[in-house]
Amino acid sequence: MITFRKVTKSNYDAIALLDPGDENYISPNWKSMLSAHYVNNYLEMKSIYRNNILIGFFMLTSEIKPIYLDCFMIDKKYQNKGIGNICIQKIIRYIKDNYRINKIYLSTFNPIAFHLYEKYGFLKLNNKMADKYMKKNNEFLLVYNIKK
């Protein structure tokens, strides 16, 4: 069973030690958690557990309004087992249930992550905002349109 929990003093160190595998595509969790305390667009951070074992992390910000899924990662020990599929569905549901929004944004340059997001309804943007984002961050910008 996949569950989300707050990031706290008691689980911060373990989250910081999670290994995303290829660090070319994602910042270390400690850096993301630290930056959350110094940016004004931070909304919340969640640790991801599978059967009470810490396996991942994600952060929500308003870097791109209304909401931006930032830093979603699964530890490399748990990758390629379908867990990311379950987690992205649960994250979408969590956002729908807890935020009154009509779009979810995220970005990636990781081809495996890109495929996962497309599989669950995220669409690659091809507009000025996406071009600007690519120039600044070297990542594709994707959007999930929430159906009412």
25-30 contacts: CB < 8 A, separation 24 or more?
25/108, 25/109, 25/110, 25/113, 26/71, 26/73, 26/110, 27/71, 29/57, 29/71, 29/73
* Average pLDDT of the chain, as a whole number: 92
More confident residue, 71 or 97: 97
For the chain, the structural domain boundaries read 2-145
Q: What is the mean pLDDT of residues 26-40?
A: 83
Would the pLDDT of 110 be above 80? yes
**pLDDT exceeding 70 applies to what percent of the chain?**
98
pLDDT tens digit sequence for 46-62: 999 999 999 999 999 99
Supply the pTM of this predicted model.
0.91
pLDDT at 148: 67
Confirm or reject CATH 2.40.30.200 for domain 2-145, answering yes or no.
no
Would the pLDDT of 24 be above 80? no
pLDDT at 20: 87
